[in-house]
Every structure is written in structure tokens, then in C-alpha cells.
A and B are shown apart, each in its own frame.
Chain A
Amino acid sequence: MEGLLAWLIITLVKILVILGIVLGIGAYLTLVERKVAAHIQRRPGPMVVGWHGLLQPLADGLKLLTKEDLYPRYGNPFLYNLALVMALVPATLVFAVVPFGPEFEVLGIKVKPILTDVNIGLLLVFALGSMAVFAIALAGWASNSKYALIGSMRKAGIVVSYEVVITFAVMGPIILAGTLSTYDIVQKQIEQKLWYLWLQPMAFVVYMFAMLAETGRVPFDVQEAEAELVTGFTVEYGGMKFGLFPLVEWYIEVLSLSAIAVVLFLGGWSPINIPFLGFIDPLFFLGPLSPFVWFILKVSLLFLFVLWLHWTLPRYRIDQITTTAWKVMLPLTFVNLVLTAVIAPLIWR
């Protein structure tokens, strides 16, 4: 009984911590994005609210929350609101299988900093990640607007093509680790003294492409192409409802997919790796906190990389995007998969 109670309390705390981190950081990443964009374009960015605009997300949130709640007259109010729920819930659920660090002990109880260490964690990530397409399609359809519908269809087309690509791209690391559990994949990388990035550079590049496409980041943001479609499927949404879609797509999904990329290719919470020799930890003075810091560092590095691309590159056309997915990315992942499947057993088994 006591074990059950402890388990319940630990799980509740984990859920609260993850939700707090995801939603809180998600909101503050808007400021990071605006600052990075501004400095890329040689502007100061938000400076007025708080020191260097530090309180800007709160001001934005207040502004969005106090807007009048409008919805399109001939739209479908039930589906219109359901789309919001279907966007937010799967995106945050992905964090249930993201391991933030190694197992540690508090008051004699062993705690894994991962909500559920299921043995098929990766499959869940991609299943939940692509659930977002329903929210977008619903949002486009329920808004009863041409722009919204075109935007949501573009997004659906992109997600369908890149979902296949991303699933095949992660097969390489899965073969190397021999497991689908996110926690065990990181453990395997530490045991083998090898970040899978060194053996799977092609898979990593393809994964990054697919991640940009799935989250609707530049150069794949045709679904919201401001110049042609106003803002795509969010045209008819107002106030905080409008704010929620970019929050989910651009921040929460990018964060979750970056975290999964770190888990798969960059060795999760392990320090800097020299292939096959070991790990070097310049942050050793942090003691038991160092793995968590490493994990956060790597995720933020990937996030900043995505921001950098977003504010540097122009946008592809939709046909170019899907053609790249099917004719370039997919064959590349096949080649990678076959090579990995042939060579990996020679080395490790």
C-alpha cells in the first residue's frame, strides 16, 4: 500500500513538473524566438516591458486573454474548439516518454526522471506526434474558410510524407540500441560509449529535415505562408485560441522532437562523447546535476538551431517539399537502414 502511495505521489509530482516546464517554457520561448529573430536582423527586439523585454510573454498573454472571443458565423463551434484540445493534448503527451536524466534517489526511493518508461516509447512519440494533423485538419475545416482549409491541407500533405520519413530515419538508432524504450536507448549509448550521431549522420540530417517539416518551421512553413494564406489554418481563430496553435506547433512540438533527437542521436544526458573511447565532462563540478544540465543544453542548442534556420532561410513550395520527402529523403533513409542492419550485427553481436 505504501509503495502504491509513493508511486502515486511521485507520478503526480512528475506530471506537474513536466506540465509546468513544458507550458511555462513554451510561453517564454516566444520571447527567445523574438529576441533571436531580432538579433539576426540587427534589431534590439522587445525592449519596453521589463528589463530587455523579459516580461513581454506575460504582456502578450494578458493581451491575448482579454481579446473578444470570436468564431466564424458559418463554422462549426464544437469542432472549432475541439481542434484546440486535439492540438494541445497529444503534443504535451509526448513528454511522458522523454527521459530528462539518469535514475536518482530521493529519501531512499529510486526515481526515474521519465513519466512512463514503456518499452515502446519511441512508437508512442511518433504516433502522438502525428496526431497533430487531425487538429490542424479540423481547425481548417471547422473555420469554414478557404485560406484555413488550404493551409490545413498543405500541412496534412507534409505530415503524411514526413511521418514516413521520420519513422524510417529513427530505425537506424533503434537497430543500434536494440530497444524502443527511450530510457534504454540513452543507457545503451552510454554503455557503448558512442553517440549514435557518429554512426548515423545521414539519419540525423533526415530527422532534422522531417522535424522542421512536422513542426511547420521554415523552410517548410507553407501551411501558414503569411503572404499567400494570411496565416493558414489559424486565420479564423482569435485571442488565446490563436495563440495556442503556434505555441503547440512551434514551441512544444519543436521542444519534444528536439528532446527525442537528443535521446536518439546525441546520447541524452551524457556529456561530450569521443567515439568508442569515453565521455568528457567539463561540467563535472555540478555533481549529480550535470546530466540534467547536459540534457537541457543539448535540447536548447537544437532549438536555437531551428530558430536560426527559421530566420535565415526562404520557404519552399509545397510540391518541392513533398518531392524531397518521397524522392530524396525516403531513399536515403532506406539506404541508411539497410547499411545499419547489415553492419551493426557485425560489430556488436
Chain B
Amino acid sequence: MMQWLVFLLFSGLAVLSALGVVLLSSPIYVILCLLSVLVSVAGLFFVAGAELVGALQLLIYAVAVTVFYIFVLTAVPWEKTLKKDSHYRVEGLLSFPLLLALYVEMALVFLLGISVSPKGQFREFIKSFGNTEVVGGILFSKYFLAFELVSLVLLVGMIGAVIIGRKEVQTYEDGSP
């Protein structure tokens, strides 16, 4: 009963703030709405008993990722945030079919996932081992290859970022600074 109430609270908040992310015009309110979405999703994880995932959601998405939007924010002067129209109408229109396909795929994966997901099999594990151990055990046994591949992708991304962000030793060919 209590669980359902909290769940409804967090999910309602998440949906409302997600609408805010899409509909609001001022970038700072959009960032705040995004933060609200991420925090309420973390709340949903806590309600579901997945404390580790909830805490990581807070630590990684709500803090580490959103902080970088804050950096972007300071590049936006105060007057610009009052602007209503977007510059990317044509691009938005062009990318719409792709977006639709992605959403259909996500819905499909979600529905397929429900039918094959283990129902209550992990509950005993989590009770006897604790959240962190179970997640670690699954990550490093069943999904080990996927996990390592993802970390490789991240490494590649990091190297790319370092290369883009490094200082140019020589900007012009004649050596003038």
C-alpha cells in the first residue's frame, strides 16, 4: 500500500518533469526538469528495492552528467533564455522517422523483456547477499562480455575526448602562435 503510494508519487513526478523537459523554453528550467526526472527515477529504483542502481542513478546521472549541462548554461546569456523558437525545425522533421523507429524498438524490447525476465528469482539472492553483491555477481558472470565491451567503448570515447581537447602544439604552418 505504502509502496504503491510512493511509487505513484515518484512516477507522476517523473512524467510531469519529463513533459517539462520537452515543453519548457528556457534552458535552465529544462535542466532543472531533467534533474527532477533523474531524481524521481532514482526514487523509483529505491521503491523497487534496487538501492545500488538508485544510488548510482543519483551519483552518475543526476550529478555527474547533469553538472556538464550546468557548464553549458553559463554560456547562455540571460536574454537568450527568453527566446521561444527553435533553430532546428528542418532537422527535427528529418530525424522524426528515425526517432519513431527508435521508440518502437524500445517499446518492443521492453515488451519482450517482460516476457523473459526472471520473476522473483533474484529476491532470495538479494535477501541473502545484498544488493551490491548480486549486481556485481551478475555483471561479472552472465554479462561479462557485454560489460567489458562497454568499458572498451568508454575507453575509446575517453581517448577521443583527450585528442579533441588537447592543446595544439602548432596552430599555423609557419610556426606563428
Interface residues of A (CB under 8 A from B): 74, 76, 79, 82, 118-120, 123-124, 126-128, 130-131, 133-134, 137-138, 140-141, 144, 149, 152-153, 156, 159-160, 163, 167, 179-180
Contacts and interface: CB of A to CB of B under 8 A. Distances in A.
A119 B64 CA distance: 22
B68 to A, nearest CB: 8
Nearest to B56: A123
B122 interface: no
B110 interface: no
Interface residues of B, number: 24
A127 B56 CA distance: 8
A123 B70 contact: no
Nearest to B51: A120
B132 interface: yes
A159 B63 CA distance: 10
B52 A120 contact: yes
Q: 9 closest Cβ contacts across the A-B interface?
A: A123-B55, A127-B58, A127-B59, A120-B55, A137-B70, A130-B63, A120-B51, A119-B130, A120-B52
A134 B73 contact: no
Nearest to A181: B130
Nearest to A123: B55
Contact of B78 (A120, A144, A152, A159): A144
19 contacts: A76-B28, A82-B32, A119-B132, A120-B51, A120-B55, A120-B131, A123-B55, A123-B58, A123-B59, A127-B58, A133-B63, A133-B70, A134-B66, A137-B74, A141-B73, A149-B74, A153-B74, A156-B71, A160-B64
A160 B59 CA distance: 12
B64 A163 contact: yes
Contacts of A74: 78
Nearest to B79: A74
Interface in B43-86: 51-52, 54-56, 58-59, 62-64, 66-68, 70-71, 73-74, 78
B63 A127 contact: yes
B35 interface: yes
Contacts of B28: 76, 79, 138, 141
B92 to A, nearest CB: 27
B63 A180 contact: no
B63 to A, nearest CB: 5
Contacts of B66: 134
Contacts of B59: 123, 126-127, 130, 167
Contacts of A137: 70, 73-74
A319 to B, nearest CB: 13
Contacts of B51: 118-120
A141 B77 CA distance: 9
A2 to B, nearest CB: 17
Contacts of A123: 52, 55-56, 58-59
A128 B57 CA distance: 12
